[in-house]
Amino acid sequence: MIIESTMKAVELLFSFDSEIYTIIFLSLAISLLATATASFFGTILGILISISDFKLKRFTKKIVFTFMGIPPVVMGLVVLLLITGPFDGMNLLFTKSAMYIAQTLLVLPIIVGNIIISSEKTQKKILETATTLGANKYHKITLLIKEIKPFILMSVILGFSRALSEVGAVMLVGGNIKNDTRVMTTYIALNNSMGEYSMSIAMGIILLLIAFVLHTLLARFRGDFYD
């Protein structure tokens, strides 16, 4: 049965079925957009938290690290309650925008947390050296960003992996509507529940291929840094 379903899945992929490719495109588009937004704000936040001294720093870091592991379905629930509660008037429920918001919030702590960890490891010596060479705060922040660039790229890739592979949040706030808010993971979940394993396997193959490319990139950045 596994072999038969896999053969069917490969056939499906090469049949260039428009529904399948629309789903793949939507998944990639939303996850990329969410990761880009989270990366922009996450990098700034992560660096600011790591280089600043403030009263609730330890507590803030604990919150960030806790949210790094939040189950997607819980994040979906939080966004669902927000868009059907205080932001009800914006009509976001079961829209691509809601999926984008949920994924952005899911990825943000991953980027912030990873940047805090990597930045705190290296920043003290780098910032101390820059200070003795006459660098001001702006120079120090730009230097730090350049020095931890491989870690930032690794965080972004990890964040994108998380966005692309999560199912709980997009299912709750997007509703898995055909030709509208259906993405790869919700498509797999739906077909799985209906016993259409070949469809699920086809999407699984695509997800695995994307994961392979991402982790090859990740390994390269790691290698660049540690060589």
Partner 1 sequence: MIEIKGLVVRYKTVEFKFDDYKFKKNMISIISGRNGTGKTTLLKSLSSLIEYEGNIKVNGEITYNSQEPILFNRSTYENIVYPLRIRNLDLNLYKEKIDKYTRVLSIDHLLNENALKLSSGEKMKVSIIRSIIFNPDIVLLDEPTTHLDLESIVELTTLIKELKNELTFIIVSHNSSFVEELKDEEYRLGGNHVYS
Compute the least distance from the CB of residue 213 to partner 1, in Å. 25
CA distance 10 to 166: 23
Q: Which is nearer to partner 1, 10 or 145 (CB)?
A: 145
Compute the least distance from the CB of residue 148 to partner 1, in Å. 9
Q: Is 182 exposed, middle or buried (0-12, 13-18, 19+ CB in 10 A)?
A: buried
Q: Pick from 143, 189, 190, 214: which binds partner 1 (CB under 8 A)?
A: 143
Q: Which is nearer to partner 1, 128 or 180 (CB)?
A: 128
Q: Is 103 exposed, middle or buried (0-12, 13-18, 19+ CB in 10 A)?
A: buried
What track of x and - describes contact with partner 1 for positions 108 through 137 (by CB under 8 A)? -----------------xx-xx-xxxxxx-
**Cβ-Cβ contacts under 8 Å for 2 (sequence gap 6 or more):** none
Q: Which is nearer to partner 1, 69 or 134 (CB)?
A: 134
Tokens of 153: 């790229």
- Which 70-89 positions form the footprint of partner 1 (CB under 8 A)? none
Tokens 């790869």 sit on residue: 184
Binding site for partner 1 (CB under 8 A): 125-126, 128-129, 131-136, 139, 143, 146-147, 149, 227
